[in-house]
Structure 1
Amino acid sequence: MTISPATLSDPAVGAFVAAVNAHDRNAFLALLTPDASMSDDGSDRDLADWIDREIFDSGGHMDVQKESDGGHSLVVNYRNDTWGEMRTAWRFTVTPAGRISRFETGQA
């Protein structure tokens, strides 16, 4: 059963998923702190390069299967035109102001 982004526990994480699924790069970037960082499979990546390659230039889409840790941890069926579909884990650090300062993803 897929969980709707609008019903996720943390509004910033829900907006992140919604922006990915809408392919809205501007809305996505507006959710991040200016110094936001990310990692993929345990390795830090260049944020701008990664999001273009893995999300926006390749039709990325997140189907949330499970959330925990107050909505800061997700299990997602993620798909894009490059890799197809895979089960991934996502972890978010959200500031008190409601912006995402870091996200980590990898195989679930």
Structure 2
Amino acid sequence: MAIHTDRLSDPAVRAFVAAVNAHDEEAFRGLLTPDATMADDGSERDISDWADREIFSSHGHMDVTKESDGGRALLADYRNDAWGEMRTRWSFTVEDDGRISRFETGQA
């Protein structure tokens, strides 16, 4: 069963999931530090290219099913128009200012 976005523990991660599901590119980018990095299935990716392809142009959506590490590690059913639906894992590094400096995702 999915955890409602409003109930996610970490404020930055909660805002990240909300931005992804609303396809709010401006909010998404505002959550990241200027030098933020990411990896997908262990490979480093350019956040802008990846987010456009995997979230915004393909209508990505996260249904979080489990959280751990104080809300900074998630299991989610992720779907988009490119890949359909898959079980994914997500982990986030959140800085003291509340912005995300790194996230990693991949199939769970």
Shorter-chain TM-score bucket reads over 0.9
Aligned length: 108
| Runs of 4+ off more than 3 Å | none
Q: C-alpha separation between the residues in 2 aligned to 1:20 and 1:48? A: 13
SS at 1:65's partner residue? strand
SS in 1 for 2:58: coil
Query: Within the alignment, does 1:84 sit opposite 2:84 as a pair?
Result: yes
Counterpart of 1:99, as a letter, is R
Matched residue, 1:54: 54
Residue type of the alignment partner of 1:71: G
CA positional deviation for 1:96: 1.0
Amino acid at match of 1:43: S
Deviation per residue, 1:65-108 (Å, 9 max, x gap): 00000000000000000000000000000001110000000010
State how 1:58-77 maps to structure 2 within 5 Å.
58-77=58-77
Shift of 1:6: 1.3
Report sequence identity in percent.
72
TM-score for both structures, normalised by structure 1: 0.99
Which residue of the partner structure matches residue 16 of structure 1? 16
